[in-house]
Amino acid sequence: MRQRIERLEQGSSRPRAVQPFGVDAIDRHLPGGGLAVGALHEVAGGGNGAIDGAAASLFAAGIAARSRGKVLWCVVRQDLFAPAIAQAGLQPDRVIYVETGDETSLLACFEEGLRHGGLGAVVGEVARLSMTASRRLQLAAESAGGLGIAIRRWRRQADAADFGQPTASVTRWRVTTLPSRPLPVPGVGRARWHLELIRCRAGESADFEVEACDAAGRIALAADVADRPAEAQTWWQSATA
Per the domain annotation, does 79 fall within a domain? Answer: yes
Query: What is the distance between the alpha carbons of residues 210 and 190, in angstroms, rounded to a whole number?
Result: 10
How far, CA to CA in Å, does 170 sit from each of 62, 113, 122, 227? 18, 18, 15, 31
SS3 231: helix
Phi, psi of 64 (to 5 degrees): -65, -35
The rounded distance, in Å, linking the Cα atoms of 241 and 238 is: 5
Contact predicate 185/33, CB 8 Å: no
Query: Is 199 within a domain?
Result: yes
Q: Is 9 part of a structural domain of the chain?
A: no
Q: Is the pLDDT of residue 45 over 50?
A: yes
Does residue 184 fall inside a structural domain? no
Q: What residue type is 78 in one-letter code?
A: Q
How far out from the chain centre does Cα 236 lie? Answer: 27
| 6 domain residue, yes or no | no
Query: What is the tens place of the pLDDT at every residue in 177-201?
Result: 999 887 777 767 789 999 999 999 9
CB under 8 Å to 225, separation ≥6 — which residues?
209
| Residue 7 counted as domain residue | no
* Residue range 8-30, pLDDT digits in tens: 444 444 567 999 999 999 999 99
**Beta-sheet pairing, 147-152 with 171-178:** unpaired
Domain range for 49 is 17-178+189-240
Rounded to whole angstroms, the Cα distance separating 123 from 112 reads: 12
**Structure confidence by residue, pLDDT tens digits, 93-117:** 999 999 999 999 999 999 999 999 8
- What's the CATH code of the domain at 107? 3.40.50.300
* Burial status of residue 131 (CB atoms within 10 A of its CB: 0-12, 13-18, 19 or more): exposed
Burial per residue of 72-88, b for 16 or more beta-carbon CB atoms within 10 angstroms, e otherwise: bbbbbeeebeeeebbbb
Name the strand (E) or helix (H) holding 240. helix 230-240
Position 73 pLDDT exceeds 50: yes
Q: Is 192 helix (H, G, I), strand (E, B) or coil?
A: strand
- Would residue 70 count as lying in a domain? yes
Q: Is residue 4 part of a domain?
A: no
The Cα 233–Cα 198 span in angstroms is 22
Q: Report pTM.
A: 0.85
Question: Which contiguous run of DSSP H or E holds residue 226?
Answer: helix 223-226
Number of domains in the chain: 1
